[in-house]
């Protein structure tokens, strides 16, 4: 077919039609459609009785790595196979958008990277990703240490008070403490604002938690009632949400104004070589404003900052929570972790260089992300018809999917898949040191720790998409190294100073989920000052 039209839109439309027609033909030839996919019929109670990802796991074992989940008229394709995940996230990434997730997050994050349409995403990703360069991360490690130090001081004070009462331990909800720590770090690292939430409460902090709470609620509530006109002014929780958003936006607008007023124009290379050791404000906002000048659209900047505030806060707090939860159940692994910390750090704070030597702590962090991925599901919607490749279990032909198919890539299932991991439910940080090949799985290359030279942390490349803690392909997390180093520093500093035990049994820590996997009633722990540290 020749396109005679000069209008680019028309040419695009014709190309799309052609693409769709050729996809349809491929699908017909492959002979398998969505209709022939195994179906898991979900009862609505499955959505409320327990976290959805538990049911998705059971259905994965029952129906295989690609199945359809039907809730009444709504259907999702659930993917638990690395080859299919790689196809959606990397090879055919631009055939999919964020679907339901974008509907939920757009009112909060606007045109921020996570829900952004493709054109906005392409522009902003190119601007934001270079901000996470090595010197920035090195400056961030100093922020991770100083914020963790504030948390440690708080715990020490609480312990001193307990000691006066004759108690050797203090009891704390570490999940809440990690949440405050991660909020302080993301505020300073992304827009040079000290929430100070480890030691105080403020209207802005309350508004951030209110907004997170609403985002969480929306991600588990499947009817977007907040989109109904006037609803936001009628339903009290929606009114509160609008007020919370305004408080945060006013705060961010003030920071943006200030960054623009103190702007120093320079080019990207110079910005990336700045002397970050003497810089008062090393934040990402400083970089974004200095790089692009006063012409950056304030609204877009605010959406970018809000996105990173939400994306980088509870996720990191959750990793720390589950890392401690897992270590606390394994005294020998806890001992190994503390021994490494003592020998690498002694009494010193971690630095950019010492993170490289804290191997066991780094692997503990990634193992916590394997067992408790944040978020447990990645959400996509197909923009055109496509054929998902065949995975393992004899599904060699794959499935044809029409445009508009909603997909859950279950990272939780991938990370606990008995087909790709030995003892998938066991906590074994050492597993990432061992090469693993599985010739039986077509199209999957398996583990080869040497495949990502220079990578500090195992990633989706070495595992060929069996391990996806930060997603993969073009929409992979921009803050992955930031978050991993932050978790390594905070975990190392906590265990350097304290022995930690769970207050109750591990079974008493109930899981709930929305955007992240967290606990129902906090993760209560007993902290005791380590005897050799004075
Ligand atoms: C995207 C996980 C920390 C900013 C993502 C995605 C995952 C993820 C899985 C991909 C989502 C998808 O494909 O649908 C995590 C985890 C974190 C973490 C587990 C902590 C342990 C951070 C931090 C920041 C951040 C600290 C910012 C400072 C973002 C942004 C995106 C993203 C902006 C969207 C990227 C894009 O679409 O181009 N994150 N993240 N994240 N994350 Fe993170």
For the chain, the average pLDDT equals 87
What number does the ligand 1 atom closest to the CA of 189 have?
Answer: 28
Output the pLDDT for position 13.
55
Which is more confidently placed, 158 or 449? 158
Q: Are 57 and 410 in contact (CB under 8 A)?
A: yes
CA 98 from chain centre, in angstroms, equals: 15
**Cβ neighbours of residue 80 closer than 8 Å, sequence gap 6 or more:** 56, 60, 65, 66, 410, 413, 414, 417
CA of residue 124 to ligand 1 center, whole Å = 14
For the cut 60, the answer to whether the pLDDT of residue 6 exceeds it is no
Instruction: Give the model's confidence band at 36: pLDDT under 50 very low, under 70 low, under 90 confident, else very high.
Output: confident
Neighbours of 67 (CB within 10 A): 21
What confidence score (pLDDT) does residue 4 get?
A: 36
Ligand 1 site residues (CB inside 6 A) read 113-114, 125, 190, 307-308, 311-312, 315-316, 319, 374, 378, 469-471, 475, 477-479, 482-483
Specify which residues 381 forms β-bridges with: 97, 406
The average pLDDT across 97-107 equals 88
In the prediction, which pLDDT does 215 show? 78
Q: Which of 479, 488, 518 to mutate to test the pocket of ligand 1 (most atoms within 8 A of CB)?
A: 479
Gap from CA of 470 to ligand 1 centroid (Å): 6
Rounded alpha-carbon distances, angstroms, from residue 144 to 177, 203, 345, 516 = 14, 24, 15, 22
Residue 194 has pLDDT above 80, yes or no: yes
Asked whether residue 37 carries a pLDDT value surpassing 50, the answer given is yes
Feature table: binding site for heme? 477
Residue nearest to atom 2 of ligand 1 (CA): 470
- What is the rounded distance in angstroms from the CA atom of residue 394 to the CA atom of residue 289? 52
Whole-model pTM?
0.91
C-alpha 477 to ligand 1 mean position (Å) = 4
- C-alpha distances in angstroms, 324 versus 178, 190, 254, 327, 406? 11, 26, 37, 5, 35
pLDDT in tens, 344-364: 999 999 999 999 999 999 999
* Per-residue pLDDT, 1: 27
Q: Which residues pair with 502 in a beta bridge?
A: 525
CA 248 vs CA 85, 99, 302, 457: distances in Å: 35, 26, 10, 33
First to last CA, the chain: 79
Across 294-310, b (16+ Cβ under 10 Å) vs e yields: eebeeebbbbbbbbbbb
Q: Where are the alpha helices (DSSP H) in 281-418?
A: 284-292, 298-311, 314-328, 331-345, 352-357, 359-371, 411-415
Q: How many Å lie between the centroid of ligand 1 and the Cα of residue 312? A: 7
- Condensed to tens digits (0 to 9), the pLDDT of residues 365-424 reads 999 999 999 999 999 999 999 999 886 555 667 899 999 999 999 999 999 999 999 999
| Ligand 1 centre distance from Cα of residue 336 (Å) | 30
> Quick one: pLDDT band at residue 88, thresholds 50, 70, 90?
very high
Token pair recorded at residue 144:
């991770």
Can you read off the two tokens belonging to residue 273?
């070589």
Q: What does the alpha-carbon distance between residue 239 and residue 104 come to, in Å, rounded to a whole number?
A: 17
Confidence of residue 60 (pLDDT cuts 50, 70, 90): very high
On whether the CB atoms of residues 505 and 148 are closer than 8 A, the answer is no
- pLDDT band at residue 340 under the 50/70/90 scheme: very high
Q: Is the pLDDT of residue 495 over 90?
A: yes
Identify the residue whose C-alpha is closest to ligand 1 atom 39.
477
Please report which confidence band the pLDDT of residue 533 belongs to, taking 50, 70 and 90 as the band edges.
Answer: very low
Least confident of 331-340, 383-392, 453-462: 383-392
Would you state the pLDDT for residue 48? 64
pLDDT band at 534 (very low <50, low <70, confident <90, very high): very low
Expressed in angstroms and rounded, the spacing between residue 478 Cα and the centre of ligand 1 is 6
Atom of ligand 1 nearest to the CA of 373: 19
Q: Whose CA is nearest to atom 7 of ligand 1?
A: 470
Specify the residue with its C-alpha closest to ligand 1, atom 29. 477
Task: Kindly tell me if the per-residue pLDDT of 334 is higher than 80.
Answer: yes
d(CA 116, CA 505): 42
């Amino acid at each position: 077919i020749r396109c005679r039209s000069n209008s680019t839109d028309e040419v695009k439309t014709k190309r799309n039609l052609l693409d769709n027609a050729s996809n349809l033909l491929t699908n017909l030839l492959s002979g398998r459609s969505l209709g022939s996919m195994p179906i898991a019929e979900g009862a609505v109670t499955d959505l409320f009785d327990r976290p959805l990802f538990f049911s998705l796991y059971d259905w994965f074992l029952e129906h295989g790595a690609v199945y359809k989940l039907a809730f009444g008229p709504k259907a999702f394709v659930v993917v638990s196979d690395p080859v299919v995940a790689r196809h959606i996230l990397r090879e055919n990434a631009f055939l999919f958008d964020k679907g339901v997730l974008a509907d939920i997050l757009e009112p909060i994050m606007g045109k921020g990277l996570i829900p952004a349409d493709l054109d906005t995403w392409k522009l902003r990703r190119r601007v934001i990703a270079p901000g996470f360069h090595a010197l920035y991360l090195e400056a961030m490690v100093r922020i991770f240490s100083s914020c963790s130090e504030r948390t440690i001081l708080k715990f020490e004070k609480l312990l001193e008070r307990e000691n006066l009462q004759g108690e050797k331990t203090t009891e704390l909800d570490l999940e809440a403490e990690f949440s405050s720590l991660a909020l302080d770090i993301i505020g300073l690292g992304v827009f040079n604002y000290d929430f100070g939430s480890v030691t105080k409460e403020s209207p802005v902090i309350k508004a951030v938690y209110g907004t997170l709470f609403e985002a969480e609620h929306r991600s588990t509530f499947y009817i977007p009632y907040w989109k109904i006109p006037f609803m936001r002014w009628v339903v009290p929780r929606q009114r509160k949400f609008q007020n919370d958003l305004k408080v945060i936006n006013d705060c961010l607008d003030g920071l943006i104004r200030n960054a623009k007023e103190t702007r120093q124009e320079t080019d990207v290379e110079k910005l990336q070589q700045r002397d970050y050791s003497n810089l008062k404000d090393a934040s990402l906002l400083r970089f974004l404003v200095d790089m692009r000048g006063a012409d950056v659209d304030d609204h877009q900047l605010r959406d970018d900052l809000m996105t990173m505030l939400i994306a980088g806060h509870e996720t990191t707090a959750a990793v720390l929570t589950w890392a401690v939860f897992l270590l606390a159940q394994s005294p020998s692994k806890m001992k190994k972790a503390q021994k490494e910390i003592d020998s690498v750090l002694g009494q010193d704070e971690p630095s950019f260089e010492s993170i490289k030597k804290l191997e066991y702590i780094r692997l503990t962090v990634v193992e916590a992300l394997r067992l408790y991925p944040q978020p447990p599901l990645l959400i996509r919607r197909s923009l055109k018809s496509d054929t998902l490749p065949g995975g393992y279990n004899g599904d060699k032909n794959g499935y044809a999917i029409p445009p508009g198919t909603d997909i859950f890539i279950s990272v939780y299932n991938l990370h606990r898949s008995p087909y790709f991991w030995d003892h998938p439910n066991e906590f074994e940080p050492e597993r990432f040191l061992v090469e693993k090949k599985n010739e039986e799985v077509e199209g999957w290359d398996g583990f080869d720790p040497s495949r990502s030279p220079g990578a500090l942390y195992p990633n989706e490349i070495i595992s060929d998409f069996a391990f996806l803690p930060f997603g993969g392909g073009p929409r992979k997390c921009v803050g992955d190294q930031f978050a991993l180093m932050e978790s390594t520093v905070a975990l190392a500093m906590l265990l350097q100073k304290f022995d930690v035990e769970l207050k109750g049994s591990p079974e008493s820590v109930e899981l709930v989920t929305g955007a992240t996997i967290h606990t129902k009633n906090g993760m209560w722990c007993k902290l005791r000052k380590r005897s050799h540290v004075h």
